[in-house]
Chains A and B, each alone.
Chain A
Amino acid sequence: MQNDVIVETHKLTKIYRDFWGRQKKTALRALNIEIRQGEVFGLLGPNGSGKTTTVKLLLGLLYPTDGEAFVFGKPAADVGKNERIGYLPEESYLYRFLDAEETLDFYGRLFNLPPAQRRTKAQELIEKVGLKADRKRPLREYSKGMRQRIGLAQALINDPDLIILDEPTSGLDPLGARWMKDLIRDLRTLGKTVIMCSHRLEDVQDVCDRIAILNEGELQAYGEVQTLLQDHRRIELRASDLQLSDDLRRDLEELLRKHGGKLDTIGHPTTTLEDYFLRIVEESKAHPGRRFLPGKEPLPRVETVQRVEGRG
């Protein structure tokens, strides 16, 4: 195992069996992956593809039928490895009768943190996840987004080196999802390793350095996001301060023909709906009371770079 590899699986296999030992379902088959320190690693796949099973095997919630999984060089079933792990399950399964402070205090105790450190850390995390005003409310009164935030706070209570997030943006509104993704990027900046398990592809594309795609328990693709997604047959060219005109099109077609290529499309690029939505919300906060009246006002415009696509 290389020095910077902190998660490693060898032929990791999980077969679910019934009471009598009969095989029910192969959830994961001979998975071999390595996750390095400081990267955001995405586990992708449709429902039932084996990504959550992989996470549960890494956490010791399930035991492998065959093969092995190592986290920080220790077998996945070793409790000691959990000292350096933070885990956010898909649903934030926390005790709903506790409030945010009690929740973080409870999980802090499980890490044997001394009382003063628990208090400081809890306040710091509550502020970080934006629940300061709601810290005394029991979790049963929290919205899904708030539960996800407190869930993330409990996953970070021990300042972990490896954070495992199972569907971290599920159930979050676009603002929440953006916040979560920014936080994941911050964690990467701090040198933490993040394993993210999701079927929201745009989120994975946004934040992950490397991914593994699973289907029917088998590894289908594995590598850097940029490398996997790059379309080597096409070239993208972006330009600004230009007016879209027939002359421009003709000149570009000429130029591309000269280099043996051909122009596919030319036009104004679109931004993502997420960016547009966030901008609208930000502007609305900046101008309280303003509202859009159809036919009276022009639509808010998108400002982005113009894009020309060519094919070689």
Chain B
Amino acid sequence: MFAVLTFDRDPALYQNVPAQLFAWIQGAGGWAAFGVLVWLLAGYTRMRAEDRARIAPWHKRIFVASVAVSFLAYLIAGGAWLAQFLPKVKPELAFLAYAYGITIGGAGALVAAGLSFVFGLTALRFRRIWALAKLSFKEAIRNRVLYGFSAMLLVLLFGSWFIPYKPEYQVRSYVGVVYWMMKILLLVTAIILAAFSIPTDIRRQTIHTIVTKPVERFEIVLGRFFGFTALMTLVLLLMTSVSVVYVLRGVDPEAAAESLKAREPFYGALHFENTGDKSKGTNVGREWDYRSYITAAAPNQEPQYAVWDFPEVPRSLASRDSVRCEFAFDIYRTTKGFENRGVSCKFEFQTAHFNEHDKDSYNADRSRWMSKGNLFSKKDIDEWLAGYRTRLAPQALAPLELNERLDNKRLRLMANPLEGDPPQYRLSDAAIENELAEEYGYYVVPAKDITDYHTMYIDVPAGLFRNALQAPSGNTGRPPLQARVSVTQQSATQYVGMAKYDLYWRLDDPKGGHEIAAFTLNFYKGAVGLWLRLCLVIGLAVALSTYLSGVISMLVAGMLYLGGGVIDYIQSIAFGTAPGGGPMEALFRLANRQVALVPLEESAAATLATSTDVVFRWFIRRVLDLIPDVDRYDLTSYVGEGFNIPWTQLWIDCGALSLYLLPWFVAAYYLLKWREIAGPT
């Protein structure tokens, strides 16, 4: 059915973690350096001599050393940045020095800023944090905060009135609506609870009886954070359980059979052939450039191909009878085409062992063996094996291995003997396809009608995978497995759009019969995404409220969250990729009535405008470090489209959230520690 998972960015992978970690050190380190500088100028200079004397000597030494390292590294980075404008300096070298400079500088600043924090952590006691967390939990419950969640009943009672009844949309709509409702209710409640808790304690002076006990002030921050998180986790768990039942009961059987799934996709890398550019196909003028398009070959031209390379083939797939290849493409029609017919495409699957010249031989064999009516004589089998032996000859296998392969094949072909004289052997169509795929490393579906955006599939014989996993026979320069798609001449005037994630193998068994259970588990995994966003707003609001008032904390946390929703746009401004440039360039264009896409004519005013934008962009990039990437935690589309959420994604997202919140918590530690809890009265 209608299940298409599109990725605006690549899914999280472990191999990308080191790069993200470096980016974090650079970003958070920059802010740490700023914090240390402000403290040195405004805090240390005002510090009383007796308070300075109380700083431990080792603490001073580590602080001074890390500040010195940081300062030197930033100096080098600054020099490298300037050096890029010098003609004799290689830009790559300057960039490398700059990147190392800001990374080491950031790391040094992080050590300097985090030193007291880390040693302050040793004074924390779980029992006190637990007491404060329990207090937050009870406070929220007894103040009847949970009553607000009864609004969820509205969706449960009346939601189905508004949800489209078409089976194609049902699962996506049901999942979307319940997640959206949970998101709104939980996030708004969480942000209000977290933002007002510490300021209210300070205003009502209830905090006086806490900080006059042997309580580290940061324990209050952690207690509040864990208390509200625990409460929201329980509510989320309850709401998710109710929601999943609602979705499972609400979806009609047709949609349930088609869409309640949790596919485990195995993706490849996409490139195009005969389009003039390996990285993309034809641009059909669609504004959303997620997909690239191919069409049938014009006379005397090579056909255009969209090719997915699979550099690694999962071994587990080889033991099956067939492996499902799913795909969902976009169709761009230049003519009306035939009524009720899709666009015809050819699908070829081939391994590294497949020889292009064997295509004809494959087709001949296929026609011959398929025409046997599934009954084979001993002579047929011997002929098949003789042909196989001929094809294996160029591989120059050791006699032992060659005989083993032939014997195995003979056993498979003669596995289902029929009684009678002369003996006959039964081979199903699927078994024949499997044998041919394993023998040639090739499988073809000459024409399959593609309908717009519908997820379709081909069950590919698993013999192809067994072939792909056989020891390499010479270097063909091709990956172990390829899926090649082209548009047939039947649909010569139509274009088919593809993206990397539009075609994949199903790692889970589509015929396994556990789809509802997998969907349910996936639904809970989707809720983890919401849970991460809850942790994010609670942590952010609690940290901000250590210094700001409740209302301001709530607004700032809310704005940062909303900023995270449009982070791609802010990034485009920060890195100068937004059409029309930065604010000064845009103003200049507005004043001179120039459209955004036309390059600016060189003039002093234009140079001034673009140079000012460079400075502006630098500031925006610093602000960008403060904005959480909230979209990465939105896993609704996985659940709605029926795709399994990989555990990798969840673990990496947890790590990313921890790294985002850590600097905020360090800031909260210092702000609450330095803050005078009592006022003048």
Contact string against A for B residues 103-138, beta-carbon threshold 8 Å, 1 for contact and 0 otherwise: 000000000000000000001010110110011001
Per-residue CB contact flags for chain B residues 565-603 toward chain A (1 = under 8 Å, else 0) read: 000000000000000000000000000000000000000
Interface residues of B in 127-174 (CB under 8 A from A): 127-128, 130-131, 134-135, 138-139, 142-143
Within the assembled complex, what's the spacing in Å between the Cα atoms of A56 and B680? 10
Q: Which residues of B contact A95 (CB under 8 A)?
A: 135, 139, 206
User: Is there contact, CB below 8 Å, between B678 and A56?
Assistant: yes
Asked whether B127 lies within 8 Å of A94 as measured between CB atoms, the reply is: no
User: Could you tell me if B677 and A110 are in contact, using CB atoms closer than 8 angstroms?
Assistant: no
B212 interface residue per 8 A CB criterion: yes
Q: Are A109 and B131 in contact (CB under 8 A)?
A: yes
Q: Name the segment of B213-221, B231-239, B424-432, B475-483 touching the other chain.
A: B213-221
Q: Does A91 contact B (CB under 8 A)?
A: yes
B333 within 8 A of partner (CB): no
Which of A25, A66, A89, A110 contacts B131, CB < 8 Å? A110
Tell me how far the C-beta of A152 lies from the nearest C-beta in chain B, rounded to whole angstroms. 12
B371 at the interface (CB under 8 A from A): no
| Interface check A82, CB cutoff 8 A | yes
Q: Which of A97, A98, A110, A151 contacts B214 (CB 8 A)?
A: A110
What is the distance, in angstroms, from B320's C-beta to the closest C-beta of chain A?
56
Q: Is A68 within 8 A of B127, CB to CB? A: no
Is A85 a contact partner of B212 (Cβ separation < 8 A)?
Answer: yes
Is B680's CB under 8 angstroms from A63's CB? no
Taking a contact as CB atoms closer than 8 A, the residue among B134, B139, B204, B215 that contacts A97 in the complex is B139
Cβ contact of B206, chosen from A52, A85, A94, cutoff 8 A = A94
Q: State whether A82 touches B214 (Cβ < 8 A).
A: yes
Q: B389 an interface residue at 8 Å Cβ cutoff? A: no
Q: Does A310 contact B (CB under 8 A)?
A: no
A68 surroundings in chain B (CB, below 8 A): 50
A-side contacts of B142, CB under 8 Å: 97, 138
Interface residues of B in 27-80 (CB under 8 A from A): 48, 50, 54
CB < 8 Å neighbour of A66 from B48, B125, B204, B205: B48
B112 to chain A, nearest CB (A): 22
Q: Which residue of B lies closest to A157 (CB)?
A: B213
A109–B130 touching, CB < 8 Å: yes
The chain B residue with its CB closest to the CB of A92 is B209
Closest to A56 in B: B678
Do residues B127 and A79 form an inter-chain contact, with CB atoms below 8 A?
Answer: no
Q: Is the CB of A61 within 8 A of B676?
A: yes
Give the residues in chain B near A61, CB-CB below 8 Å: 208, 211-212, 676-678
Q: Which residues in B have their C-beta under 8 angstroms from that of A89?
A: 205, 208-209
CB-contacts of A71-124 with B (<8 A): 75, 79-80, 82-83, 85, 87, 89, 91, 93-95, 97-98, 102, 106-107, 109-112
Looking across the interface, which residue of chain B has its beta carbon closest to that of A97?
B142
| Residues of B171-212 contacting chain A, CB below 8 A | 204-206, 208-212
Q: A27-B680, A63-B676, A89-B205 are known contacts. Are A82 and B213 too (CB-CB below 8 A)?
A: yes
Cβ 8 A contact of B212, one of A59, A97, A106: A59
A106 and B677 in contact (CB under 8 A), knowing A94-B209, A112-B128? no
* Contact A106/B208 with A79-B215, A79-B216, A80-B214 known, Cβ cut-off 8 Å: no
Complex alpha-carbon distance, A16 and B135, angstroms: 32
Residues of chain A within 8 A of B678, CB atoms compared? 56, 61-62
**Chain B neighbourhood of A60, CB < 8 A:** 211-212
Contact B213 A107 (CB under 8 A): yes
Max count, chain B CB within 10 A of own CB: residue among A53, A66, A68, A112? A112
A82 to B211, CA, bound (A): 9
Q: Which residue of B lies closest to A151 (CB)?
A: B209
Q: Is the CB of A25 within 8 A of B212?
A: no
Could you say which of A52, A83, A89, A154 has the most chain B C-beta atoms within 10 Å of its C-beta?
Answer: A89
- Main SS of the interface on chain A? mixed
Minimum CB–CB distance for A154 against chain B, Å: 7
Given A61-B211, A61-B212, A97-B138; A109-B206 close (CB under 8 Å): no
Collect the chain A residues with CB atoms within 8 Å of residue B130's CB. 109
| A56: B residues at CB distance < 8 A | 678
Instruction: State which of A79, A91, A111, A154 has its C-beta within 8 Å of the C-beta of B205.
Output: A91
Min CB gap B582→A, angstroms: 33
Distance in angstroms from A17 CB to nearest chain B CB is 10
Smallest distance from the beta carbon of A283 to chain B beta carbons, Å?
Answer: 38
**A109, B132: Cα distance in complex, Å:** 9
User: Given known contacts A61-B676, A79-B216, A112-B128, is B211 in contact with A106 (CB within 8 Å)?
Assistant: no
Say yes or no: A107-B209 contact (C-beta < 8 A), given A16-B680, A95-B135, A97-B142.
yes
- Which chain B residues lie closer than 8 Å to A66 at the CB level? 48
A112 touches B125 (CB 8 A): yes
Min Cβ gap B42→A in Å is 10
Taking CB atoms, residues of chain B closer than 8 Å to A111 are 213-214
A61 to B681, CA, bound (A): 12
Closest to B46 in A: A21
Residues of chain B with a CB closer than 8 A to A16's CB: 680
Q: For residue A38, give the distance in angstroms from its CB to the closest CB of chain B.
A: 21
A94 to B48: give the CA distance in the assembly, Å.
Answer: 34
Q: How far is the CB of B140 from chain A (nearest CB, A)?
A: 10
A61-B677, A89-B209 known; A106 and B135 CB under 8 Å?
yes
Distance between B219 CB and nearest chain A CB, rounded to angstroms: 9
Task: Tell whether, in the assembled complex, residue B206 and residue A110 are in contact, meaning their CB atoms are under 8 Å apart.
Answer: no
The complex places the Cα of A238 from the Cα of B676 at a distance, in Å, of: 53
Please give, as numbers and ranges, the residues of chain A lying within 8 Å of B680 by CB-CB distance: 16, 24-25, 27, 53
Contact with B along A25-36 (1 / 0, CB 8 A): 101000000000
- A87 and B209 contact, CB distance less than 8 A: yes
**How far is B214's CA from A260's CA once the two chains are assembled, in angstroms?**
62
CB proximity of B156 to chain A, nearest CB, Å: 29
Residues of B within 8 A of A138 (CB): 142
Also in contact, A79 and B123, with CB within 8 A (given A63-B676, A110-B213, A111-B214): yes
Residue of B nearest to A59 (CB): B212
When chains A and B are docked, how far (Å) is the Cα of A154 from the Cα of B211?
13
Q: Which of A59, A110, A154 is the one whose CB lies under 8 Å from B128?
A: A110
Tell me the complex Cα distance, A229–B409, Å: 116
Nearest chain B CB to A197 CB, angstrom units = 14
| B215–A110 touching, CB < 8 Å | yes
B133 CB, nearest partner CB in chain A, Å = 11
On chain A, the residues within 8 Å of B48 by CB distance are 66
For the complex, what is the distance from the CA of A68 to the CA of B209, rounded to whole Å?
A: 23
- The answer to whether A97 and B143 touch across the interface, beta carbons within 8 angstroms, is yes
Cβ distance A49 to chain B, nearest Cβ, rounded Å? 13
- Which of chain B's residues has its CB closest to A91's CB? B205
Q: Is the CB of B127 within 8 A of A112?
A: yes
Q: Which residues of B from 515 to 571 have beta carbons under 8 Å from A?
A: none
- Docked CA distance A102–B206 (Å): 15
Q: How far is the CB of B203 from chain A (nearest CB, A)?
A: 10
Q: Which chain B residues border A75 with CB–CB below 8 Å? A: 54
Assess whether A83 is in contact with B212, with CB atoms less than 8 Å apart. Answer: no
Task: Report if A106-B214 is in contact (Cβ < 8 Å); known contacts: A61-B676, A97-B143.
Answer: no
Collect the chain A residues with CB atoms within 8 Å of residue B128's CB: 109-110, 112
Chain A residue contacts of B676, Cβ below 8 A: 61-63
B214 contacts A83, C-beta separation under 8 Å = yes
Minimum distance in angstroms from A92 CB to a CB of chain B: 8
Contacts of A110 on B, CB cut-off 8 Å?
Answer: 128, 131, 210, 213-215
The 8 sampled A-B contact pairs (Cβ below 8 Å) are: A60-B211, A61-B212, A94-B206, A97-B143, A109-B127, A109-B128, A138-B142, A158-B213
The 5 closest A-B pairs by CB, nearest first: A109-B131, A61-B678, A97-B142, A110-B213, A93-B205
Report which A residues bind B (CB closer than 8 A): 16, 24-25, 27, 52-53, 56, 59-63, 66, 68, 75, 79-80, 82-83, 85, 87, 89, 91, 93-95, 97-98, 102, 106-107, 109-112, 138, 151, 154, 158
Interface residues of B (CB under 8 A from A): 48, 50, 54, 123, 125, 127-128, 130-131, 134-135, 138-139, 142-143, 204-206, 208-216, 676-678, 680-681
7 additional A-B pairs beyond A61-B678, A151-B209, A158-B213, beta carbons within 8 Å, are A16-B680, A62-B676, A62-B677, A87-B209, A95-B135, A95-B206, A110-B213
